[in-house]
Structure 1
Amino acid sequence: MTAYFLYIFIYLAAAVIAVPIAKRLGLGSVLGYLIAGLIIGPTLGLVGDETTTIQHFAEFGVVMMLFLVGLELEPKSLWAMKSRLIGLGGLQLGITTALITIIAMLFEQPFSISLTIGLIFALSSTAIVLQTFQEKGLQKTEGGKGAFSVLLFQDIAVIPMLALIPLLALPELVASAADASGDATHSDSFNLVSELAPWAYGLVIIGSVAFVTVGGHYLSRPLFKFVSSSGLREIFTATALMLVIGIAALMGLVGLSPALGAFLAGVVLANSEFRHELEANIEPFKGLLLGLFFITVGAGINFSVLASNTLLIIALTLSVIVLKAAVLFAISLIFTFKGSSKWLLTLSLAQAGEFGFVLLSFASQNYVLPQDIIAILSLVVALSMFLTPGLFIFFDKVILPRYQRRGTQNKEDTIDDKGTVIIAGIGRFGQIINRLLVANDVHTVVLDIRAEQVELIRKIGTKAYFGDASKPDILHTAGAEDASLLIVAIDNRETAAEMVKYAKHAYPNMQILARAFDRGHGYRLRQLGAHYVVSETYHSALEMGAHALRSLHSHPFQVERQKMAYKDIEDQQNDVLYNAWLDDASGERIDNNYLKLFVELESLIGEALNTGLHDTHSKMKGWTPPPKDHADSFSSAEAASDVDKKLAGGIDRKLRESDAEKHPEVKGD
C-alpha cells in the first residue's frame, strides 16, 4: 500500500510543479503534463512498470471528456453538423488511411499491417486538442468547429476499426501464440460477444445502443430526481460517476468503444434539466484523469527503443505530422476555410492520438502487429502527441500574427475626417457612448481594428473607420492634435494601457477616458494618465442589483438611496485605495495595507447600505421620491417598470425608442 501512495505522490507532485511553470511560460497545461511524465519516467526513473497500468486507468479521463462534450450537443445540433461531420471527418480519415497504407506497402509491409498502421495514424488526439481549444478559447472559431467535427467522426469511426482489426490477424502470429500457450484462440473473459455469430453480435450492438439512448432519456430523469431529493451532493456525484462508468463498462462488454458510449449518453442527456449539475460533478474528475493520462504518455516513452531506432522514429513522427497536415490543409481548401482557420484545422489535428494506443493494444491482442513494430509505433504516437503543443505555439506566435498584420495592412482605411472626440473601439461599450455623443451633435471619429465590426456598424448608418488606434500615425490622422477627448473602449488590456500611455505623452491637452476590466486595470490606466476610468461592469452590476431589490418588493426610494450610498462611498475611498496601490513596490500591487483598506471599504459600504433613510435623504439631489404608497399601487413588475422610466431623467422615451429602431445594438465587445 505504501508503494502506491508513493507513486501517487510522485505523479501529483510532478504535475503540481511542472504544469504551473509551463502555463506561466505560455506552453499550455498539456505540454506541462507531458514534460512532468518525461522527467519522472525516462529521465529520473522514479516510476516504471506501473505506468502502463495507470495509463489504462487514466484513459477513462477521455471517456469523461467525451461525455461532457456530448452534454454540450443537443441531438438537433448534431444533426445540423452532419455535412461537416461526414464531409470533413470522412475525407480526412479516408484519405489519410489510404495514403499511409500505400506508403507502408511500398516499404514491403503486408497489406494487413499497412492498413492497421494507416488506421492508427489517421486518428488525432481528442484529449489534447479539445483541452487546448478550451484553454485558448478556440472552440467557437471556424477552425475550432471544423477540428471538432473531424475529431467527432474519428471517435465514432473507432467502432468499425475495432471490428475490422481482428479480421486482419496474421496467421504466423496466431500460430506462434498457439505454440507458446497451447491454444490458438485468444479470449477475453470480459467480452460477452466474442463467441457470438455475426448476426447475433449485430443484434447485441443495436440493443446496447438502444438501451443507452432510450434508457438515458426515460430512466435517468427519475433517478436523478430521486437522488437530488436526498439533498446530499456527494450522492449526486456518485450517481454521475456511476452513470458514466456503467455505460463505459456496458460498451466494453459488447466490444464497443467506451468513449463513444459516453458521448452518446451525453448527447441524450443534453436536454436534461440536470445537465449543468452533471457537468459540475464530472469536470474535476475529467481534468485530473486527463492530466494523469498525459503524464503517463510522457513517462511511457521507452528510451532504449528510442536510442536504438532514433532516426527511424524521428523520421516516422515528422512524416506522419507532415502527411496529415498536408491532407488537412487540402481539405480546408475544399471546404473554403478562410484566413488562419485553415491553419488552425491543419496544425491542431496533425498528430496521432490516444486512441492509437487503444488500437495498438487491440492489434497486439488479436495478433495483427508484431511486438517490435508495436514498440516503434507507440513511440511515434507518443512523440507526435508530445509535439502537438508546439504546433499550437507555432500557430499563436507565427501564423495568427501574420494574418492579423495582413488584415491591417490590406484593409486599413484612409481617415478623411476629424472630430471633437475619437472613440477607439465600437463594440457594445463604444456604441452606447457614440450614440449619446452623436445625439448631442458631438462630432466623433470612430476607429476599430475588427473589419467585420466596422462593416456591421456602417450598415446601421454609423460612420466608422477600420484602423488600429494604438498606432501613432492612425491617431494622428484621426485628428488627435485638435480633439478634445480620446475614449479608449477597446477589448484588450495591454493595448488599452499602451494607448493611454502614448496619448498622455503625445497629446497632453487631450482628455482621456478609458474602459477598465476591473479595479486593478483601472488603477493602472489612471497611473498611465487616464483622466477618467470606469470599470465595464460597475454601473451595469449596480443597476442589476437595484432592479433585483425592486423585484423583491423593496421600496423604490430605499433602492435609489442605497445606490447613491454605494456610489458615494466608492468615490470617497477610490483615491485612498489608488494611493495604497501605488505605494506597493512589489509589482503585485496588492500588499497587506491595500487589503486592509479594501476590507475597510467593504465595511463602510455595508454600514452605508444599512443606514436609515433620514441619514442620506438630503444627498439625493435631483431625484424626487415617489409617494409612500407608490409601490403598493402596482404589481411588482409594473412598479419596477414605472420607476425605471422615472429614473431615466430628461431622456425622452419616444426618442429612445426611435433611436433603438434606427440603431439596433450590434454584437461585439
Structure 2
Amino acid sequence: MEVAATYLVAAFACALAAVYLRLPPLVGFLVAGFVLAALDVPYLEGIDLAADLGVTLLLFGIGLKLDVRTLLRREVLFTSVAHMVIFTVLGAGFVKLLLLLGLPGLGSVTGGGALAIAFALSFSSTVVVIKVLEERGESQAFYGRLAVGILVIQDIAAVVFLAASEGHLPSVWALSLVLLWPLSLLLRRVWSHLGHGEMQALFGLLIAFVPGYALFELVGLKGDLGALVMGMLLAHHRAASDLGRQLTNIKDLLLVGFFLEIGLAGVPSLVDLAVAGVLLVLAFVQGWGYALLLRLSQITRHTTSRVGLAMAQFSEFGLIVTAVAVEMGLVEERWLTIIAVAVAASFVLSAAANRTESHADRLSLLLPPDPPVDRLHPECRPLALEGADALVLGMGRVGQGAAHQLLDEHRLHVLGVEQNPDKLLALAKDGLKAIEADASDITLWDGVVDHPRIQLVVIALPSHEVALDILGQLRQRDYTGRIAAVARYPEHETELRAAGADVVTQIYGGAGAQLADDACTPSPG
C-alpha cells in the first residue's frame, strides 16, 4: 500500500505543477514516472494492467465514433501509407547521418537497425492525439476524423508488424471473428433495454474487454484492436455518445498508469537525453509530413496544419518496435531508454504545441497557399451563409435549444454550425438548418464578417478553449454583432466575458432559471 500511495502522491503533485504551468496533466504524469524511476521506488504491480485497460477503453471509444468509410478515403489511406514509407526512409538516413557525425551514445547500429528505429518513430500516439481532440471537442471535426483515420491505419500496420516479427500468423480461428457482426446486431438490441445508468457503463466495459480485447488476444491478434473493432460495430447506436461520456472518467484514470509507465522505462544518462533531444527533430518532420501529404488531396492549410500539429509526436508503439530490434541484435539495449525519453519528450512538446489553436494558425501560414475554390476538397469549400441572421456554433442539446428559441420566439433566420455530418439529417427533420463546418476555421469567420446581416453568434461548444479562440478570431476581425456563450463553471464565465462575450450563461444555472419560469407559468386549460 505504501508503494501505491507514493505513486499517487507523485502523480498528483507533478500533474498539479503541470496544470499550474498551463500544461496538460499528462505532462505531469510523464515527469512523475521519471521521478519515481530516478528515486528507485519499487515497481507498482498492476500499473501495466491499468495502462492496457486504459488504452483498450480509449480505442473502444474511438470505435464508437468512427465511420469505417473514413478509412477507405484516399486522403486517409494514401497519407497513412505514404507517410510511413517516406518517414522510415528519411528517418533511417537521419540516424545514419548522426552516426557519421560521431554523435556519442549511439553504439553500433546496422542498416536494418536504422530502419527499425525510423519505423518505430514513424507512428503518432493514439493516446495523445485522441486526448487533444477530446479536450477540444473536435474528434468529429474534419481534421479530427482525418487524424483518427490515419491512426487506425497505423494500428493495423502495427498488427501486421507484430505478426511478422513474431514469425507466425494469427490462429486460423481468427476467421471466426466475422461472426462478431451478427453478434453485434444482438448486442444492439440488448443495449437498447439497459437504460442510461450503471448497467450501460458495465455493458461498455464488458464489450470492450471480453469480445473485444480477450477474444482477439485468444486468436493471436492485438487486444486493443479488438476493442476498436467492437466499438466500430456498435457505432451509430443512439446511445453511443452517452456510453462514451460514461466511460471517459474511467478511461482517463486508467491512462494515468499508461503515462507513468512511459516515464518508468528507465533513468536516462545525460548522453541518452542528448540523443533523444536530437531525435525530436524527427517529431517536427512527422507533423510537416502529414500536413504536406494531405495538401496533395486539395485540403486547406487550416485543416492540414491542425492534423500535422496534433500528430507531431512519437508513439508508445515505438518502444515495442525498438524492443524487437534489440532482440534481433539490430541495435543496442540502451536504445530502449533513448526512445522512451524521445517519446516522453515528444508528448510534452505536443501538449504545449496543441494548448491553443493559434499555434496551428501560425503553422498554416508556412504551408503552400490553398488551391482555387473549384479545386478544393469538397469538405473545405466556402460555406453558404446567405440569409442567416444568427449563427449557432455546436448543435448539441444546448445549441438546438438556443436555435429553436431564436427561430420560434424571436423569428430570426438561424443557421447552425455542426462538425458531425451524421447529425445534419436529424437536425433538418427537426426543422433546423445547419451546415457541416469546423467552428474554429478562420475562413468561417472571414465569411461572417463579410455578411453584415449576421448580428448574433451563439457559442454552444463543449470546449472552453475553443470558445476562447473563436472569441479572439471575432474580435480580431472587429465583428460588431452580439456574441453569446455558455459556460460550465464560474471561472469560465469570467474568462469568456473578458475575451469579449456580451452574454454568458452558465449551463446549469440557466437550466434552473428556465425550470423556475416553467414552474410558475400556469398550464393551459
The CA distance in 2 between the partners of 1:470 and 1:13, in whole Å, is 42
CA contact (8 A) 1:326 1:346 kept: yes
1:113 paired residue number: 113
- Residue matched to 2:133: 133
Contact 2:110–2:331 at 8 Å: present in 1 too?
Answer: no
Distance 2:357 2:340 in 1: 28
1:14 is aligned, of 10, 14, 22, to: 10
Question: Structure 1 residue 243: deviation in Å?
Answer: 4.9
The residue type paired with residue 306 of structure 2 is L
* Separation in 1, partners of 2:309, 2:482: 39
**Alignment counterpart, residue 371 of structure 1, candidates 312, 333, 343:** 333
RMSD of aligned alpha carbons: 4.6
Matched with 2:521 is 564
8 Å contact kept, 2:37–2:267: no
SS class of match (1:427): strand
Shift in alpha-carbon separation, 1:463–1:367, aligned structure 2, 3 A: closer
Deviation of 1:214 after TM superposition, in Å, equals 1.9
Q: Indicate conservation of the 8 Å contact 1:30/1:132, yes or no.
A: no
Question: Which residue of the partner structure matches residue 152 of structure 1?
Answer: 152
Residues 65 and 398 of structure 1, relative CA distance in 2, 3 Å threshold? closer
Any residues of structure 2 matched to 1:306-317 within 5 Å, and which? Answer: 306-316=269-279
CA shift digits 1:464-508 (9 cap, x unpaired): 699999869959xx7xxxxxxx9554679558635889xxxxxxx
Contact 2:200 2:243 (8 Å CA) reproduced: no
Equivalent position of 1:345 in the other structure = 307
Q: Which has the larger radius of gyration?
A: 1
The aligned counterpart of 2:253 is 288
1:116–1:165 contact (8 Å) kept in structure 2: no
Residues 490, 332 of structure 1: alpha-carbon distance in 2 compared, 3 angstrom cutoff: same
Taking a change above 3 Å as real, the CA distance of residues 537 and 213 of structure 1, as seen in their structure-2 partners, is farther
1:47 equivalenced with 2:44 (yes/no): no
Q: 1:377 to 1:470 in 2, by over 3 A?
A: closer
Higher deviation after alignment, 216-225 or 134-143: 216-225
- Report the 3-state secondary structure (helix = DSSP H, G, I; strand = E; otherwise coil) of the residue aligned with 1:302: coil
Question: Which residue does the alignment assign to 2:506?
Answer: 518
Amino acid at match of 1:92: H
Aligned to 2:295: 333
| Shift of residue 258, structure 1, vs aligned partner | 1.9
The residue number in structure 1 matching 2:59 is: 66
Question: Are 2:234 and 1:265 aligned?
Answer: no
1:141, 1:341 within 8 Å by CA — same for their partners in 2? no
Q: Determine the structure 1 residue equivalent to 2:460.
A: none
CA distance in 2, matches of 1:469, 1:433: 26
Q: Which amino acid aligns with 1:34?
A: L
Sort the Cα spacing of 1:220 and 1:38 in 2 relative to 1 into closer, same or farther, 3 A: farther
Q: Give the direction of change, closer, same or farther, for the CA distance of 1:48–1:383 in structure 2 (3 Å limit).
A: farther
Q: Offset at 1:353?
A: 0.5
Q: Where do 5+ consecutive residues of structure 1 fail to align? A: 168-193, 195-200, 405-424, 440-448, 479-485, 502-513, 522-534, 547-561, 566-612, 614-624, 627-669
User: Is 2:469 the counterpart of 1:452?
Assistant: no
Bigger mean CA offset, 227-236 vs 354-363: 227-236
* Aligned equivalent of 1:620: none
Which residue, 319, 323, 342 being the options, matches 1:380? 342
2:177 to 212, 218, 223: 212
Partner of 1:297: 262
Q: Is 1:320 aligned to 2:282, yes or no? A: yes
Within-5 A mapping of 1:646-657: none
Q: Answer yes or no: is the 8 Å Cα contact 1:125–1:354 preserved in 2.
A: yes
TM-score (norm 1): 0.55
Q: Is the 8 A contact 1:351 1:385 kept in 2?
A: yes
Summarize the Cα distance change of 1:435–1:357 in structure 2 as closer, same or farther, 3 Å threshold.
same
Name the CA distance, whole Å, in 2 between partners of 1:374 and 1:319. Answer: 18
Structure 1 332/238 Cα, relative in aligned 2: closer, same or farther at 3 Å?
closer
The structural deviation recorded for 1:164 is 3.3
Quick check: 2:59–2:225 contact (8 Å CA) kept in 1?
yes
Higher RCO, Cα 8 Å, sep 6+: 2
Distance 2:57 2:203 in 1: 14
Q: Which moved more, 1:430-439 or 1:319-328?
A: 430-439
For 2:26 and 2:495, locate their aligned partners in 1 and report how far apart those are by CA, in whole Å. 28
Q: Aligned partners of 1:434 and 1:235: how far apart in 2?
A: 36
Secondary structure in 2 aligned to 1:370? coil
* CA distance in structure 2 between the aligned counterparts of 1:231 and 1:124, rounded to whole angstroms: 34
CA displacement 1:508-535 (0-9 Å, x = unmatched): xxxxxx53312999xxxxxxxxxxxxx5
**Paired residues, number:** 438
Q: 1:293 to 1:520 in 2, by over 3 A?
A: closer
Q: Name the aligned partner's letter for residue 37 of structure 1.
A: G
Structure 2 counterpart SS, 1:517:
strand
The structure whose residues are more often helix, as a share, is 1
Contact persistence 1:228–1:236 (CA under 8 A): no
| Greater displacement, 466-475 / 261-270 | 466-475
Report the AA paired with residue 143 of structure 1.
Y
For 1:148 and 1:344, how far apart are their aligned partners in 2? 13
Distance in 1 of aligned mates of 2:324 and 2:224:
15
